[in-house]
Amino acid sequence: MSQNKKRLKLKKWVYYVIFVIILIIVIVIGVNLYKEYKYRQSNEYKLLQLGYTDNEVDILLEKLSNNTVKDLLTKDKDDDVVSFAKEKYYIDKNLNEYLAYYDENKNTNTKDVVAIINVNADHDWYDEELETDTSKNELMIVNKFYALTKDYAPENLVTIPLDYSYGNEGDNKLIDYAYEHFLDLWNAAYDEGYHLMVTSSYRDYESQEEVYNYRKETYGQRAADETAARPGHSEHQTGLVVDMTSTTEASANEFKNSDAYKWLKENAYKYGFIERYPEDKEYLTGYSAESWHWRYVGVDAATTMHKNDITYDEYYAFYIENQGK
């Protein structure tokens, strides 16, 4: 092969290599330009352009739905939205209600606003009556919005023996599975030196009606609503509740200052029981604090509530109604 042919062949290879290199460069540049174009269309980029930080954008994209983000992009940067999105129990569909309530109640922190809106505590109590879903068993909710029907009576009620309760034989009853856990709770407390006694438990619709009407006639409706449930709205009708004191306290009101109560506060969740109407949560439950009122919800739910210091109303709104999203 002549030198000229060799040079020509080499030159062709050089041109080919150069062409391939240029093609690769063009492709890489094109891909990067396309990626940049697509990124500029993304919600992440648009939120950053509005002034949200990288961390804030991550939170917003994690907690807000696509529709909520799209709506957010039509407005100026809103630090309140970020504050609410940071809250553990933020529920996306409630965002506008959070913002509206917070706008009128600036002295309320965002954590409390989320709780208030989630449990409908911004509404008048009893302004809407929803039927309790009893198929949820120990996780059913009964409060000032959710009610049991007049004829609802739980199955498998068992009598709490007089060893564990005051009154006459047969006065106090619990659903069987709640009773089994109550016995575990009672024995654990007894081993620690606390002799718990049940003062009240299952109560049917008619009995609750009598209790409420007596309070209403004696103290007026407002006071009655703070201390007693209207018929159908009482947890006692579920068969999942025990009112408790101990043998060392003369009254339920004294119980809140007892060591037995402190033990329950620290340990009842291990057996699936919660203090349903705790102190400082009246604005969420609608009831005055009741240190004696303990509700069975199961160990998992009780543990979550204990660790996060939330009421059952809050738990139900987030984990049951909103499925923890």
Q: Is 290 a catalytic residue?
A: yes
Alpha-helical regions (H) of 220-287: 221-227, 252-255, 259-267, 282-285
Q: What angle do CA 194, 195, 198 make, to 5 degrees?
A: 130
SS3 174: strand
Angle 154-311-320 from CA coordinates, rounded to 5°? 65
Q: Are 284 and 312 in contact (CB under 8 A)?
A: no
Instruction: Give me the catalytic one of 87, 138, 235, 290.
Output: 290
27: amino acid identity, one letter: I
The residues, any chain, with a CB within 8 Å of residue 34's CB and separated by 6 or more, are none
Q: How far apart are CA 227 and CA 229, in angstroms?
A: 7
Which stretches does DSSP call E strand in 56-194? 130-131, 146-147, 157-159, 173-175
Q: Which residues are catalytic?
A: 290
